[in-house]
């Protein structure tokens, strides 16, 4: 199937969302001889959730992780319709306790976007969190959006941020489109509870 350059850019941009959100390394420990692949996936999901404020939709690992320093297993992380590979490494083994490191690949495995011609809700939230952190000098506790932002000038979605135990509504507006990239404006409600 042939895709137009605009569609390829939109697909890459939407799937890159997952890269930005989950391209982190983090660690967890587990007591075992070998760590079962289901437990590796659970620990990876929990560790990523702690690191970025929410867990991915799903993680599936190919094999069990050997309880040997340097042993690795490949997993696949799915979030917002995009997929990324992840390498889980046994960093240290102390008795039966395995300390694992989780490193998400820098590039997506697939090019399926949650919706064509839109910025994924995960990417909108990531950019909103970054923009507000830069404006205020403090990162919000959480920032989430219930839907994708259409890649159309003037398109609007409502998101929610949490800071110091209070929730605020955020209006996100697509300001401009340039080369398949959407520039966004983030306006936080003046009062909590929106």
List, for residues 75-124, the tens digit of each pLDDT value. Answer: 888 877 777 888 899 998 887 788 888 888 776 643 334 445 788 899 99
Quick one: pLDDT at residue 49? 83
Q: For 25-70, what is each residue's pLDDT tens digit?
A: 444 445 557 889 999 999 988 888 887 778 888 899 989 999 888 9
Q: How many other C-beta atoms can be found within 10 angstroms of the C-beta atom of residue 10?
A: 22
Percent above pLDDT 70 for the chain: 76
Q: What is the pLDDT of residue 17?
A: 35
End-to-end Cα separation, the chain, in angstroms = 44
Residue of higher predicted confidence among 181 and 67 = 67
**Residue-range domain boundaries for the chain:** 5-108, 118-188
In whole angstroms, what is the distance from residue 146 CA to residue 9 CA? Answer: 23
- Distance of alpha carbon 169 from alpha carbon 134, whole angstroms: 18
Number of neighbours of residue 1 by Cβ within 10 angstroms: 2
Burial degree of 70 (CB within 10 A; 0-12, 13-18, 19+): exposed
């Amino acid at each position: 199937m042939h895709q137009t350059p605009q569609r390829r850019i939109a697909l890459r941009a939407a799937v890159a969302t997952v890269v930005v959100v989950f391209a982190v390394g983090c660690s967890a420990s587990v007591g075992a001889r070998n760590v079962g692949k289901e437990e590796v996936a659970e620990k990876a999901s929990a560790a990523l959730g702690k690191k970025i404020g929410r867990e991915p939709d799903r993680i599936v690992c190919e094999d069990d992780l050997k309880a040997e320093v340097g042993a690795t297993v490949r997993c696949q992380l799915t979030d917002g319709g995009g997929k990324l590979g992840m390498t889980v490494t046994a960093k240290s083994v102390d008795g039966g306790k395995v300390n694992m490191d989780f490193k998400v690949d820098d590039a997506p495995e697939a090019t399926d976007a949650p919706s064509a011609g839109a910025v994924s809700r995960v990417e909108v939230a990531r950019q909103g969190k970054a923009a507000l952190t830069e404006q205020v000098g403090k990162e919000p506790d959480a920032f989430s959006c219930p839907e994708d932002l259409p890649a159309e000038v003037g398109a609007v979605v409502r998101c929610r941020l949490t800071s110091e135990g209070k929730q605020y509504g955020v209006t996100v507006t697509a300001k401009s489109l340039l080369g398949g990239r959407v520039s966004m404006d983030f306006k936080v409600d003046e009062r909590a509870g929106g």
